[in-house]
Amino acid sequence: MSAAVSRLSRIEAQTVIKPINILLLIGIMMPLVLLPLASIFIFGMGKGTGHLWESLTSREALFALKLSLLTSAATTVFNVAFGVFASYVLTKYSFPGNTALTVIISLPTAIPTAVVGFSLLLLWGPYGLLGQYLAEANLQLMFNTWAIILANIFVTFPLAFGSIKPVLESINVVYEEAAETIGATRWQTFRHITLPALRGAIITGALLTFARSLGEFGSTIMVSGNLAMRTQTAPLYIFAKFNEGDVEGANAVAIVLALMSFAIFTLIISARNRFLEK
């Protein structure tokens, strides 16, 4: 009898605590995340959708969005391919320096993005360690689209790798060994056994990389020069327009980036939930 009463008391306490915890969570998120994001949309719709659309379809805004999409896509392709390759090498092979390489690949997450941009300038800039030799051949790697891609690759280096490597480590080697015993080459084993098992991790890593590249600012502003209609990405456009006093123009592009980020992370969480349900 006492056990039943105790269990009933716990259920009643949980019934009370549950909504309190949910409201507390929302209350904490409200000033930190929800209201700042809501203010973008409230301000953007303040003068009507027509004014918002006009700001969004200006030549400079469209160029900045297209450049961000292009450079983010290029970064994603490279870093996903590198993430698969690096994960395979560091998981399948045991060698001195394995742990050190893993740490180095993960390091960009801890480095301020302004430091990333500065380091790239010191290396590839016109007077950089290697850039000075490119300058002699009339080649320029900084202050153009390639510089943006290079900065994005550096900043997002660990994201795809961090998504893929844990999954690769968890794959049962029995299947790979079975494929090899029936005559499959290492490439065939990787293509037909390993790669399909990494599909979810690759998609997650790609989406994370794309989203992070889309919003990169600190390193990009240093290596690109922030030149309108040339090297100005969407985050740099927002910064430039805000400094010019064109808050509506900055807000229009901010809304697009916010919606893209929301869509990307909705896909990631939905895919993860479907995977966990299987």
- At 45-87, the pLDDT tens digits run 877 788 888 888 999 999 999 999 999 999 999 999 999 999 9
What pLDDT, on a 0 to 100 scale, did the predictor assign at position 6? 60
What pLDDT, on a 0 to 100 scale, did the predictor assign at position 205? 92
Question: Averaged over 6-23, what is the pLDDT?
Answer: 71
Is 248 exposed, middle or buried (CB count within 10 Å of its CB: 0-12, 13-18, 19+)? middle
- At 193-215, the pLDDT tens digits run 888 888 888 988 999 999 999 99
pTM: 0.86
Q: What is the 3-state secondary structure (H, E, C) of 149-197?
A: HHHHHHHHHHHHHHHHHHHHHHCCHHHHHHHHHCCCCHHHHHHHHHHHH
Question: Averaged over 129-136, what is the pLDDT?
Answer: 90
Q: Which fold has domain 49-277?
A: MetI-like fold (1.10.3720)
Q: Hey, what are 17's tokens?
A: 């605590």
With bands split at pLDDT 50, 70 and 90, how would you rate the model's confidence at 3? low
Residue ranges of the chain assigned to CATH 1.10.3720.10: 49-277
With bands split at pLDDT 50, 70 and 90, how would you rate the model's confidence at 2? low
For residues 278 and 197, give the distance between their C-alpha atoms in angstroms, rounded to a whole number: 14
